[in-house]
Amino acid sequence: MSPRAHLDALWFRGCEFLGAETAIMGGAMSWVSERHLVAAISNAGGFGVIATGSMSPSALDAEIAGTKALTAKPFGVNLITMHKELDALIGICLEHRVGHIVLAGGIPSAAAVRAVKDGGAKLICFAPAVVLGKRLIKSGADALVIEGSEAGGHIGPVSLGVLAQEILPVIREVPVFVAGGIGRGEAILAFLEMGAAGAQLGTRFAAATESIAHENFKRAFVRANARDAVPSVQLDARFPVIPVRGLVNEGTKRFMAHQVETIRRFEAGEISREEAQMSIEYFWSGALRRAVIDGEVETGSVMAGQSVGMVTQVQPVAEIIRELVQQAETALVLRQNSMEIPGVIPGDDAQASAAA
């Protein structure tokens, strides 16, 4: 079997589910995953996903129409379950005959699941644990995404390596896509061989040529290393901070100082507990847009996954996907070659090179 045929067999289930040439999904990133990037991913053989975020129904209507004008390939829409107009947003997706709807940011209600399913769309949900994954499938999820803490933006506490070991061998009823810290084709291949149906990438695509992100934002990605992408820090358990992974900058330092000052004011009786919590929660309000759109990468929120160290240049989406596929194929070729050389243990590249 040729390397490409082998790869196609491994992610056949994911490709079939998505209706794409490759089982590579684009992560839904607020302000970044809009029509241009989404269409570029789908046109290149991947599966683009619109990030709705806090969009109004009319804004989503325009975004979907704009995406359809740029691609005839399938794409999906990511909706936040806590959105106050979720029902209307689902309705807009169904009116446009969007084939895949992702419900993220919490456990979807039975009504939301029913609306998506009754409307004929395929439902994708995020599962941070086996028990929840099973529950989501039982409630109607057609596919799951398991996202590790290596991802950019809002993150959970568990790494993808651990989640994959816990979930992939157990959940086989529906396709499971892996996400978080993936930046190369060899990693995609490894997870496919563990049972994943495909992979979701965000950081690599955020710095793509077609991304509308400001050039300062993209340059920050190119300069960064994996260790630069860290989760936000909570200083006091009384004032929870939802962990968000992004690049360390002046804004990160100011947030720490803001927490210290806010806690001081609360303990001095200057503000109430509720006021303190609100002050901490709203510190980053609008910061992601400032970084992505305005290019304020020093004080804005530069959300990025740990795979940012693998962003070495700004590339067209098609080139990124082609590179990922080639890396996976090359890994298969090297393995096949090592198995054909007498006395070489599969996977022992050093021995294979010496024998060659």
Q: Tell me: the pLDDT tens digits for 239-284?
A: 999 999 999 999 999 999 999 999 999 999 999 999 999 999 999 9
State pLDDT tens for residues 29-48.
999 999 999 999 999 999 99
pLDDT tens for residues 172-188?
A: 999 999 999 999 999 99
Same domain flag for 114 and 258: no
DSSP 102: E
- Tell me: do 57 and 162 sit in the same domain: yes
Going by pLDDT thresholds of 50, 70 and 90, the confidence category of residue 335 is: confident
What does residue 181 show for φ and ψ, rounded to 5 degrees? 80, 10
Residues 230 and 167 in one domain: no
Q: Can you give the pLDDT at residue 342? A: 58
CA 124 to chain centre: 13
Separation of alpha carbons 69 and 209, rounded Å: 19
100 and 242 together in one domain? no
Asked if 223 and 260 sit in the same domain, the reply is yes
- What is the CATH classification number for the domain harbouring 190? 3.20.20.70
Residues above pLDDT 90, as percent of the chain: 93
- pLDDT band for position 340 (cuts 50, 70, 90): low
Average of per-residue pLDDT across 327-350 = 73
- Which residue, among 167, 202, 196, has the nearest Cα to 183 in the 3D structure? 202
- pLDDT beyond 50 at 236: yes
pLDDT tens sequence across 272-319:
999 999 999 999 989 999 999 999 999 999 999 999 999 999 999 999
Q: Are residues 90 and 221 in the same domain?
A: no
Coil, helix or strand at residue 143: strand
For residue range 64-90, what is the model confidence (pLDDT) as tens digits? 999 999 999 999 999 999 999 999 999
Cα–Cα distance between 177 and 190 in angstroms, integer? 13
| CB 304, CB 152: distance < 8 Å | yes
How many Å from the N-terminal Cα to the C-terminal Cα in the chain?
22
Which ranges constitute the DSSP H helices of the chain? 3-10, 12-18, 35-43, 57-70, 86-95, 110-118, 130-139, 160-167, 185-194, 203-206, 215-223, 250-267, 273-281, 287-292, 317-340, 349-355
153-154/76-80 β-pairing: unpaired
Indicate if the pLDDT at residue 97 is higher than 70: yes
Q: Count of domains in the chain?
A: 2
CA distance 313 to 309: 10
pLDDT one-digit tens code per residue, 136-160? 999 999 999 999 999 999 999 999 9
pLDDT digits (tens, 9 = 90+) for 43-55: 999 999 999 999 9
Does residue 129 register a pLDDT over 50?
yes
60 and 205 co-located in one domain? yes
Pairwise CA distance, residues 178 & 161, whole Å: 10
Asked whether residue 176 is assigned to any structural domain, the reply reads yes
β-pairing, 49-51 with 198-201? unpaired
Q: Which tokens is 271 given?
A: 């503000």
Q: Are residues 176 and 225 in the same domain?
A: no
Q: Are residues 20 and 108 in the same domain?
A: yes
In a domain, 355, yes or no: no
pLDDT number for residue 352: 41
Q: pLDDT band at 344, cuts 50/70/90? A: very low
Range of the domain at 251: 215-308
Q: How many CA atoms are closer than 13 Å to the CA of 316, on its beta-carbon side?
A: 9
Task: Clarify whether residues 107 and 21 are in a common domain.
Answer: yes
